Structure 1
Amino acid sequence: MKLNIEGLLVYFPYDYIYPEQYSYMLELKRTLDAKGHGVLEMPSGTGKTISLLSLIVAYQREYPLEVTKLIYCSRTVPEIEKVVEELRKLMEFYSKETGEKNNILALALSSRKNLCVHPEVSSLRFGKEVDGKCHSLTASYIRAQRHSNPSLPSCRFYEEFDAMGKQVPLPAGVYNLDDLKDFGRRKGWCPYYLARYSILHANIIVYSYHYLLDPKIADLVSKELSKKSVVVFDEAHNIDNVCIDSMSVNITRRTLDRSQANVETLQNTILKIKETDAAKLKEEYRRLVEGLKEANVARETDIYMSNPVLPDEILQEAVPGSIRTAEHFVGFMKRFLEYLKARLRIHHVVQESAPQFLKDIFEKVCIDRKPLRFCAERLRSLLRTLEIADIADFSAITLISNFATLVSTYSKGFTIIIEPFEDRTPTIANPVLHFSCMDPSIAIKPVFERFQSVIITSGTLSPLDIYPRILDFRPVTVASFTMTLARTCLCPLVVGRGNDQVAMTSKFETREDFAVIRNYGNLLLEISAIVPDGIVAFFTSYTYMENIVASWYEQGILENVQRNKLIFIETPDAAETSMALEKYQEACENGRGAILLSVARGKVSEGIDFGECCLVPVA
């Protein structure tokens, strides 16, 4: 289908279009024409993704100098894959209608965990382990050591990419994560670094929110992207939480214990280097006097721990003398850790602002604000100088240094809460320090300032005026579109009581009620015997789901349900959830049938289509 949207020819790869989709594209075009930001709401299932892609791709083709790049941000890997498939369908429609060969480069970007093809590294379970192992094979100083000692392990995929891949651009086309991995295997190139390198000249990039909103990641991946880009945040009703989480830090006693072990390791490594290669430390000292920008000139593989917040003018400054030498910096971190340990020895909740915290630390241990501000960059420089291979081991001290930099940089928008107990174990003393960001606009402000147009869109944004207020921006368009089409294929039912006439509710007061939990289980059991393929049950939280599943197990309900269908459970771990989702779909396709227990507003609940499914919200 071809559409005329205020003079713009838009190719739409379906035979029919909802009135809402047309109106949505109209508002989207006005936003792009005004070179401003927009907030657009349209119900789930009405084709937001294809409407966005159709309009913006048409705009790119018509005005290539006005919009050079589309940056499409989604929350989870399945959502990213879904966007890429819609885009592939659109580009195939363009080729069919125009007869022209596709000359647009579009690709998905994800973590090393999802793109690595190295047999040993890709088999590791956790993302941090994959990142650490990758760094230990590809860091420039590790590769330099290999010249004198060829027996050191290497990554042949990165070596091949470094030798050949940068000279040959990625051919035009639409690449999802599997396409990139297949291309990498065929060429013998690293798909992760190929994707990182290719986003600079790609027309369309699809990746996670964190690549723009988390400053530690954005500085590595997104800092070269053009101002004439359109940024889309899809499923953005949780965007304020993502902004807050990216700037918040939680510190426990275990974090401090691991940090102290990290500091001891650094101290021992410094002593060894002083004996064998003292010139290396002197050279680092000279660079730090010149300023942090000079100290951190590094190759792409070394930039593994970017600073969370420091502005450019700070990076030009010389590092304070009190933390300039490696020994002084390690001593400084020891004092800081001892202070934090003392603060965690509490028996009541404490709340204070960042300036109050800085005042207290100065009075107690004479630590000034300025050296704290440079902690993250100073640690980064030291790890490079000491040529630490396995950076995953130093995640605890990295977290502490990021906290030091954040608490000393921001005087407003943050609060510090120290609790003697964790939420999960309110009877066991396990103190935790929460450095909580209270202002989501801090993380997203650079995005609004830097890019021409930013579109915030989702199915559930109402009330619409709240997002411009909490994210502190002025949209040129704010619009909400209702669903006019009757969905006769849906049958919404409300089950208010169980077979024993006990009210079924997940209200907090009745959550632990044995009869309510039993009735939910019996409802699931009865439905599982009738529904042929899939059931997806949504709970209000992970904790609530764990408690109910444990209770069902004790009552023997789970055993009975498993006679009818396989059971898969969503967890906070992204890899486990992706595996559960994949196996759930497999069980539905082969006729066995399955039940997926998941969390409302979790990973499974957003942006994933469940065809031929019976959805059972437990909320």
Structure 2
Amino acid sequence: MPPTDNNDDNTPPIDFHHPYTPYDVQLEFMRAVYSVLEKGNGQVGILESPTGTGKSLSLICSALTWLRNHKRARFSASFDAVAASLHGEPDWMIETALRRKRDELARGWEEREAKLKALRAKERAMEERGRAGKRQRVGGDDAGGARGKKEVDEEKEFLIGEWRDDDEGRAGDDPLGMFGRETRELLEKVGLARRKGGEEEEDGGVEEEVKIFYTSRTHSQLTQFIAELRRPEFPPSLPEGMVPAGDNEKGGDMKEVVKQLPLSSRQKLCINPSVSRLGSLSAINDRCTELQQSKTKEKCSFMPNPENLKGTHQFRDKVLATLPDIEDMHRIGKEMQVCPYYASRTVIPGAEVITLPYPLLLQESARNALGIKLEGNVVIIDEAHNIMDAVANVYAAEIRLAELRRARQMLGVYVKRFGKKLKGENRVMVAQVGRVVESLSEWLSARLLVKGDHGIAEPNELLKARGADQINLYKLIRYIQESKLAYKAESYASHVEEQETAAPDGKLPSSTPVLHTLVSFLTALTNLSTEGRVFFEKIPGPSSDVKLSYLLLSPTHAFSSIASSARAVILAGGTMSPFEDYKAHLFPTFPPEKITTLSCGHVIPASSLCVWTLASTKPIPMGSSSANVPDSFEFSFQRRSDPSQIRQLGLAVLNICTVVPDGVVVFFPSYGYLDEVVKIWQQAPDSATKSIWERLAGKKHIFRETKGGSSDEILQTYTQAILSPNDLKKAPSAPHGTQTGALLLSVVGGKMSEGINFSDRLGRCVVIVGLPYPNINSPEWKARIEYIESSTLSRLTEGPQASVALSRDQAMAAAKQAARDFYENACMRAVNQSIGRAIRHQGDYAAIVLVDRRFGTERIRAKLPGWIRGGMAEGSEGKGLQGLMGALSGFFRGKRRC
């Protein structure tokens, strides 16, 4: 499907500075990205480019080319303004004015460099003053001896400091609101924060006008992106001839290094051993911010301060001069003996590209804490097929009864030790925390006595006991965060346990961060009630337990701050189809002309892909529907447990394994169904006949994904069976030397369905069994369907987007259809992810077999990626197993000849 904004034939081609000769599909993708960014003004691009087509490099080349062109255009616009103001004047006057403007811009460049030079001199002077102050403090002794040391240390370490509710809302308005006044002023002084109102520091560095924020799902994906970012070279952002003499002494085209900054959490960047060893992110955050409190004597020595300004500035310069990843940031911080988490703030103004993981971009509070402003900037979300789930996960929270009991125990131990020393607001607030814990505990305890394993919980009912419903949750959450109650109470409980257990290995016993979990859950309860639901679920096991879970039903409101503020948003992924959900739930108010969609083809030739729909074992007569064929494959919930159908499936897989070389991966709808299938395949009709399982084992080594099992171990042995079969122990049921390759039985949505690379011999055939629809009877999906129906109906009948052409009944029908589409799209996104495991590069080839008659319907096929639809054999759904075997035999015979 071509982009909705194809370039005009008269438009000159764009040099994207791709380090290689790009394929046609890469050029199509880069043009679409460039067009979205160039239009700006809240444009959105939803772009699909199959894995193996160089998507990341295409994103880099198109986005950075646009950014540099955009910068040059700003300079050119200033020249055009001069020329326009002199319209009708003699040419010599216009030339003189333009030359004066050019000299003015050149002087501006030189003045900026002089400003930077002066800034360095000022920094050196500040560094010298810092060293002098440090020399004056050397030799100061610490009062206090061993007398009463234990009690004093405990109070110093664990007692809550004085807290007053006299700064309501400060943390929400000020990214540094979590710190004391002295610390905030210090951060501003050393350039780690903008001053109130966005005023620029008088000695601030050069700030890039437009930035690109790039985010992906995992740390490793961001590292791979940065590695790709090092490949291309881009021209400078200044127009040709504008670089002052002496700045390009080597001659030729000057290449301007991309200025990139990776951001991450304290857990990845902390270099203070006493903090990083705490392990959990919440504990690290609390301990770190506690060390920055103005009243804390024991400060972190790595925190940027007047004494280590030199290291802070060297950190900034080194990061901007290179293209570091997170490991590099950690290493540079250790070299300079300055905290990379805080020192990275000095790099943000001068960075062109900022990479960060999903949670840091998707949560507005996280963006505020980092000082990230999206207004007028570009947001690129890679691996965006799961962006709606990612938003839901960021805002999800859960807590168990066992954790609440643990929290009550920890609070009891803490109050017993320090209760008499708590004063004023502290005593009141700690008591309120206890009441909330008691109320939640009582509600969950009552659920253990009722019938049913799960259900929906009313938020108002959760806090009815102990008068907890009268407590201001916003204030309570802020108190726990600012007072560091969670860290101090948990640390003290850990301290007591350490003394009681006296661990022989010297390691601190780990304390579950249950109070942090409580804060997350209470924060979720403060979200809009229309957008989320709270569920309870009994936990199976020997110990009776039950948990509360908060589920965000819609990502619309949470994502709106990104969608409405950025200059442009790009959603890119290998399997984005179907597109409708992103439009309906991330950009519901955006007009069609603001959204560009593109589904690129693959870089492989058509001869390298064979896609087949196996609707039945036997051919379907012309004019008949597969739904009316008795032995057609349909793995719906009502039919999938039919033993006859499962055995027919086994025979089909056996035939596939006979003709497909090397690796075959079969994806099932769920772990439970995979167990059911394997059980029937392992049953032999009689003692003289081998079971389907034994016959499969005679063809290939069989591997099976298990819920909770190690995917790395399975993948390693599966790979070994294909690439180094002589080193692998033969299956007991198989004759020695007859197995060729391996068969992997996996699950759609499982560990093998995303992020695993089954390239080349590891995945010569991918088989999808059935359509993995979620359990629509689960409380979570019932709530989702109900929410989509109600919100769609409201949009169609109320407010500015209401359609006057629709009757109430028509609007209701449209709302139900929207919910059905969302449900089906969730299924097809999971299918498309599993399919994408096979073809991974231009020279790869594979067969894809879709086993279910419903894959032959146009509605389902329309939700497959374009490159899959293009490789689908015409009429395959009516040709049965014999037709499939002929197609596979011919396909792989042709590849062997190649």
Length-normalised TM-score, structure 1: 0.69
How many residues of Structure 1 are paired with residues of Structure 2 in the alignment? 554
Residue number in structure 2 paired with 1:618: 768
The one-letter code of the counterpart of 1:52 is: L
Residue number in structure 2 paired with 1:236: 384
Residue number in structure 1 paired with 2:557: 442
Of 419, 429, 437 in structure 2, the residue corresponding to residue 333 of structure 1 is 437
Residue number in structure 2 paired with 1:36: 42
2:477 equivalent to 1:376: yes
Q: Distance in 1 between matches of 2:448 and 2:357?
A: 34
Of 355, 360, 376 in structure 2, the residue corresponding to residue 211 of structure 1 is 360
Aligned pairs (5 A) from 1:268-307: 268-274=413-419, 278=421, 281-282=422-423, 285=426
The one-letter code of the counterpart of 1:104 is: V
Q: Secondary structure at the match of 1:617?
A: strand
Q: Distance in 1 between matches of 2:602 and 2:487?
A: 63
Structure 1 residues 207-216 or 585-594, which shifts more?
Answer: 585-594
Cα deviation code 1:136-189 (max 9, x no counterpart): 9856549999988x9xxx999999x98975332225333345555666777787
Q: Secondary structure at the match of 2:379?
A: strand
Q: Secondary structure at the match of 1:468?
A: helix
Of 607, 615, 636 in structure 2, the residue corresponding to residue 507 of structure 1 is 636
Q: Is the 8 A contact 1:102 1:173 kept in 2?
A: no
Q: Distance in 1 between matches of 2:702 and 2:260?
A: 37
Greater Rg over alpha carbons, structure: 2
Residue number in structure 2 paired with 1:490: 609
Q: Is the 8 A contact 2:50 2:600 kept in 1?
A: no
Cα deviation code 1:295-346 (max 9, x no counterpart): xxxxxxxxxxxxxxxxxxxxxxxxxxxx843234324432343244335643
Residue number in structure 1 paired with 2:324: 175
Aligned pairs (5 A) from 1:83-482: 83-91=225-233, 100=254, 103-106=257-260, 108=262, 129-131=279-281, 140-141=290-291, 166-167=312-313, 168-169=315-316, 170-177=319-326, 201-214=350-363, 217-218=366-367, 220-221=369-370, 223-251=371-399, 255-274=400-419, 278=421, 281-282=422-423, 285=426, 324-342=428-446, 345-348=449-452, 357-358=459-460, 360=461, 365-368=466-469, 371-384=472-485, 387=488, 393-418=511-536, 421=538, 431-461=546-576, 464-471=579-586, 472-474=588-590, 476-481=594-599
Cα deviation code 1:36-73 (max 9, x no counterpart): 13132334244443332211111222334886322222
Residue number in structure 1 paired with 2:778: none
Structure 1 residues 427-436 or 79-88, which shifts more?
Answer: 427-436
The one-letter code of the counterpart of 2:439 is: R
Structure 1 residues 35-44 or 186-195, which shifts more?
Answer: 186-195
Structure 1 residues 428-437 or 470-479, which shifts more?
Answer: 428-437
Structure 1 residues 182-191 or 455-464, which shifts more?
Answer: 182-191
Please, what is the CA RMSD of the aligned residues?
A: 5.4
Q: Distance in 2 between matches of 1:70 and 1:581?
A: 36
Alignment CA distance shift 1:240-1:429 (3 Å): same
Alignment CA distance shift 1:337-1:219 (3 Å): farther
Cα deviation code 1:359-392 (max 9, x no counterpart): x457654333652333432322343586357597
Please report how far the alpha carbon of residue 603 of structure 1 lies from its aligned counterpart in structure 2 after TM superposition: 6.0
Aligned pairs (5 A) from 1:488-567: 488-494=607-613, 506-513=635-642, 534-545=663-674, 557=693, 567=703
Structure 1 residues 61-70 or 32-41, which shifts more?
Answer: 61-70
Unpaired runs of 5+ residues, structure 1, are 286-322
Cα deviation code 1:206-240 (max 9, x no counterpart): 3332222245755545x434533211122323322
Q: Secondary structure at the match of 2:488?
A: coil
Cα deviation code 1:60-100 (max 9, x no counterpart): 22334886322222223454344333323234999xx9764
Q: Is the 8 A contact 2:50 2:602 kept in 1?
A: no
The one-letter code of the counterpart of 1:414 is: G
Alignment CA distance shift 1:589-1:72 (3 Å): farther
Alignment CA distance shift 1:405-1:118 (3 Å): closer
Please report how far the alpha carbon of residue 131 of structure 1 lies from its aligned counterpart in structure 2 after TM superposition: 3.4
The one-letter code of the counterpart of 2:409 is: E
Length-normalised TM-score, structure 2: 0.50
Q: Is the 8 A contact 2:33 2:63 kept in 1?
A: no
Identity %: 22
Alignment CA distance shift 1:89-1:588 (3 Å): farther
Q: Distance in 2 between matches of 1:514 and 1:249?
A: 40
Q: Distance in 2 between matches of 1:491 and 1:584?
A: 23
Q: Distance in 2 between matches of 1:524 and 1:117?
A: 53
Q: Distance in 2 between matches of 1:567 and 1:198?
A: 48
Q: Is the 8 A contact 1:376 1:398 kept in 2?
A: no
Q: Is the 8 A contact 2:682 2:694 kept in 1?
A: yes
Unpaired runs of 5+ residues, structure 2, are 1-8, 75-207, 237-250, 495-509, 619-629, 684-690, 728-740, 770-898
Q: Is the 8 A contact 1:41 1:460 kept in 2?
A: no
Of 64, 68, 86 in structure 2, the residue corresponding to residue 57 of structure 1 is 64
Q: Secondary structure at the match of 1:13?
A: coil
Alignment CA distance shift 1:55-1:16 (3 Å): closer
Q: Secondary structure at the match of 1:51?
A: helix
Alignment CA distance shift 1:606-1:48 (3 Å): farther
Q: Distance in 1 between matches of 2:611 and 2:359?
A: 35
Cα deviation code 1:228-271 (max 9, x no counterpart): 321112232332222233333344xxx12222212321232233
Structure 1 residues 452-461 or 137-146, which shifts more?
Answer: 137-146
Q: Secondary structure at the match of 2:404?
A: helix
